[in-house]
Chain A
Amino acid sequence: MGAAPASRDVTSYGMGLAAPLALFFLLFFVAPLLQLFWLSLHNDTAGLHWGLGQYLHFLTDPFSLSVLGSTLLLGAEVTAVCLVLGFPIAWLYQRVGPRLQTIIILIVLLPLLTSVVVRTFAWIVILGRQGIINATLQSLGIIDTPLKLLYTQFGVVIALAQVQMPLMTLPLITALGRIDPNLDDASCSLGAGSWRTFFRVVLPLSLPGVIAGCTLTYAAAITAFITQSLVGGGQMLFMPMYLYQQASTLQNWPFASAISIIFLLAVLAVVSVFTTLGRLSRGYGGA
């Protein structure tokens, strides 16, 4: 070991290490994306005539717009369900003993440990006309005719929420774990009730986790091709399936490319809203 130059910062050699991944991304992500974009700028399926016709078609077609709208709405619904159900679990996790913590983590991670296809078929069994829910309700005499649960927005949201729950809960657990437990006591001793403590202290301080969780859940929910298609069935069409139909079934690659680009931009817009919120709330993170 020679004498290292005194000015060398020990943390400055990081960039070279990222090169393999950067190369991989460039080859298999950036390049295809550029190709996709290039393809979307053609008006005909053969790719001979340049133009913005595919974009114009999508943006003026009420059907296409409604598919985009319902996909973004689906993401919002799944995110909301995950947040409302996941927050109490994460909160509970920080307040129980180590044994219960292990059990909670196991339950939270369980959806990640089974295949998407298996989980989705399980939901079909649960939600179907002769499924577990309908059979139980009918045998109890609560309903006469089976409820329509499968192939509905409700079914898709529930199935997706279960699958994406870990993506919400894990960042929340981390964020809540960083909050000094004394702050709860301090708030309480100053006269605040549980709700005031929650909204003035716990929630603001957990915002970085909320935003990370929402971003992950949202992005995962709107692109979940298998669950959307199997639980949603033929009547419900979301962007990933729409894209798949245009590309594989109709062989309309330029239009499929344009859909991809529009979908990508829409997702980026939503995610950047989340990250902006995250940046604004960063002042809260220094607990």
Chain B
Amino acid sequence: MAEAQGGRSLVVDAVTHRYPSGALAVENINLDIKGGEIIALLGPSGCGKTTLLRIIAGFIAQTQGRIIIGDDIVDTLPPNRRAVGIVFQNYALFPHLSISENVAYGLAARGIDKATRQRESQRLLELVQLPTMAERLPRQLSGGQQQRVALARALAIKPSILLLDEPFAALDKNLRLDMQIEVKRLQRVSGITTLIVTHDQEEALSMADRVAVLSQGKLEQFGTPSDVYDRPQTLFVNTFVGSSNRMPGVVVSADRTAAKIRLDAGAEIIARPAAGALTEGGRVTVCIRPEHLQFVGDETGFAGVVGMSLPLGATVVHEVTTADGSGVKISQARIGETRALDSGAAVRLAPLAPSLANAFPATL
């Protein structure tokens, strides 16, 4: 039983892949994934996350590096011998086979007898809460139901690793949340090490134990959702995950844990050197999330003029133009009666805490 087996670990060891044209698809990716973890591979399209998934599944042979599942180096194994379950973005159910035949497909390939196959596929269909759909054809099912079948089919082979390729992209918003909960429930029940490829940061942050952020084939950061969100290690991660104000400035003084920075917008603030030590006098980009800014009454923060206020339900976002002409967004929780700010009002802004402003060396 997959349920009893628990998850096997997955190590992506210095994997590099070049396309035949010579262009790098992924470069020196290292991931050490524990058994039973849910990992999200997060990045914009073209960042190499799908290539990495296909390398793990065995559809692409990487140029360099190793893939280790459990204690086995699987690089020489073809995909049909890796026991890696995949749920494709479009589900890729076999349109000519019934739902139960789809689920039992992998068992038939393993030469398991018909009675056992039927019992197993029925058990899995009950697990994904579709016990009455066994005799239907895939096209008679809704998108969400097809996805449950695709999950059941992948789980049927008792995979050591479960790979989900943009699994929720084709679903509408409400169904997406249902399926995310469903996948998380199934993953808890089965304990299978799971990798989710996604470009949706909310999905990555809400579902995964750890998130690997990829950009242009490189691993930017691999950490827990709160690490990635609150302690981003690169400017890319800071701006790709969540939204962020980018404010240029110059380092006045710096040690390992804090740096005093004079913003071009006209104030000195304390920020966290997010990507290692900063050099005095060097130019930096400071990232502050809209929810980490506050209005201040005294002379501490930097000055700006309110441009527009957008009430977004639970929060209100104000767009503020600073002294150096750049735009900054600040979002406030709507607690009690939030004072509406008139366009053109002069305000002063400051970060909530020094640790919530991240300074990165400016790239030219």
Q: A: which residues have CB within 8 A of B?
A: 180, 182-183, 185-193, 196, 200-201, 204-205, 283-284, 286-287
Interfacial residues of chain B within 96-150, with CB under 8 A of chain A in the complex: 96, 105-106, 109-110, 137, 139
Instruction: Report the bound CA distance from A201 to B105 in whole Å.
Output: 10
Give the Cβ gap from A190 to chain B, nearest Cβ, in Å.
Answer: 3
Interface size on B (CB < 8 Å)? 29
The answer to whether the Cβ of B73 comes within 8 Å of any Cβ in the partner chain is no
A185-B57, A186-B153 known; 5 other A-B pairs, CB under 8 Å?
A180-B92, A182-B92, A189-B57, A192-B80, A204-B96
Chain A residues in 8 Å Cβ range of B95: 205, 284, 286-287
When the two chains form the complex, which single residue of B58, B78, B94, B109 contacts A183, counting CB atoms closer than 8 Å? B94
Chain A residues in 8 Å Cβ range of B109: 187, 190-193, 196
Given the known A-B contacts A205-B96, A284-B95, A287-B95, are A186 and B78 also in contact in the complex, defined by CB atoms under 8 Å?
no
Give the Cβ gap from A67 to chain B, nearest Cβ, in Å.
Answer: 40
When the two chains form the complex, which single residue of A180, A190, A193 contacts B157, counting CB atoms closer than 8 Å? A190
Given the known A-B contacts A185-B59, A204-B96, A283-B96, are A190 and B90 also in contact in the complex, defined by CB atoms under 8 Å?
no
Chain A residues in 8 Å Cβ range of B154: 189-190
Sample (17) of A-B pairs whose CB atoms are under 8 Å apart: A180-B92, A182-B88, A185-B88, A186-B86, A186-B153, A188-B59, A189-B57, A189-B86, A190-B80, A190-B105, A190-B153, A190-B156, A191-B110, A204-B96, A205-B96, A283-B137, A286-B95
B78–A188 CB distance below 8 A: yes
Interfacial residues of chain B within 25-70, with CB under 8 A of chain A in the complex: 57-59
- 3 cross-chain pairs, A with B, having the tightest CB-CB distances, nearest first: A190-B106, A182-B92, A284-B96
Give the Cβ gap from A49 to chain B, nearest Cβ, in Å.
Answer: 56
When the two chains form the complex, which single residue of A189, A192, A201 contacts B85, counting CB atoms closer than 8 Å? A189
B94–A201 CB distance below 8 A: yes
B139–A286 CB distance below 8 A: yes
Chain B residues in 8 Å Cβ range of A201: 94
A185–B79 CB distance below 8 A: yes
Give the Cβ gap from A36 to chain B, nearest Cβ, in Å.
Answer: 42
Chain B residues in 8 Å Cβ range of A188: 59, 78-80
Give the Cβ gap from B2 to chain A, nearest Cβ, in Å.
Answer: 14
Instruction: Report the bound CA distance from A204 to B156 in whole Å.
Output: 23
B79–A189 CB distance below 8 A: yes
Chain A residues in 8 Å Cβ range of B90: 180, 182
Give the Cβ gap from B89 to chain A, nearest Cβ, in Å.
Answer: 8
Interface centre among A180, A182, A189 (most CB of B within 10 A): A189
A191–B59 CB distance below 8 A: no
Chain A residues in 8 Å Cβ range of B94: 183, 186-187, 200-201
Interface centre among B84, B88, B95, B137 (most CB of A within 10 A): B95
The answer to whether the Cβ of B256 comes within 8 Å of any Cβ in the partner chain is no
Instruction: Report the bound CA distance from A284 to B137 in whole Å.
Output: 10
Chain A residues in 8 Å Cβ range of B82: 189
Closest to B59 in A: A185
Chain A residues in 8 Å Cβ range of B88: 182, 185-186
Instruction: Report the bound CA distance from A223 to B99 in whole Å.
Output: 44
When the two chains form the complex, which single residue of B96, B106, B137 contacts A191, counting CB atoms closer than 8 Å? B106
B92–A191 CB distance below 8 A: no
Closest to A284 in B: B96
B139–A191 CB distance below 8 A: no
The answer to whether the Cβ of B173 comes within 8 Å of any Cβ in the partner chain is no
Chain A residues in 8 Å Cβ range of B157: 190-191
The answer to whether the Cβ of B339 comes within 8 Å of any Cβ in the partner chain is no
Chain B residues in 8 Å Cβ range of A200: 94, 105
Closest to A182 in B: B92
Give the Cβ gap from B69 to chain A, nearest Cβ, in Å.
Answer: 13
The answer to whether the Cβ of B24 comes within 8 Å of any Cβ in the partner chain is no
Give the Cβ gap from B304 to chain A, nearest Cβ, in Å.
Answer: 50
A187–B105 CB distance below 8 A: yes
The answer to whether the Cβ of B83 comes within 8 Å of any Cβ in the partner chain is yes
Chain B residues in 8 Å Cβ range of A286: 95, 137, 139
Instruction: Report the bound CA distance from A183 to B93 in whole Å.
Output: 7
Chain A residues in 8 Å Cβ range of B57: 185, 189
A185–B110 CB distance below 8 A: no
Chain A residues in 8 Å Cβ range of B137: 283, 286
Chain B residues in 8 Å Cβ range of A204: 96
Instruction: Report the bound CA distance from A105 to B111 in whole Å.
Output: 39
Instruction: Report the bound CA distance from A192 to B90 in whole Å.
Output: 20
A185–B92 CB distance below 8 A: yes
Interface centre among B78, B96, B110, B154 (most CB of A within 10 A): B96
Interfacial residues of chain B within 196-228, with CB under 8 A of chain A in the complex: none
Interfacial residues of chain B within 141-192, with CB under 8 A of chain A in the complex: 153-154, 156-157
Instruction: Report the bound CA distance from A110 to B308 in whole Å.
Output: 67
Give the Cβ gap from B254 to chain A, nearest Cβ, in Å.
Answer: 50
Chain B residues in 8 Å Cβ range of A192: 80, 105-106, 109
Instruction: Report the bound CA distance from A284 to B139 in whole Å.
Output: 11
Instruction: Report the bound CA distance from A200 to B88 in whole Å.
Output: 19
Closest to A281 in B: B96
Instruction: Report the bound CA distance from A189 to B156 in whole Å.
Output: 12
Give the Cβ gap from B41 to chain A, nearest Cβ, in Å.
Answer: 17
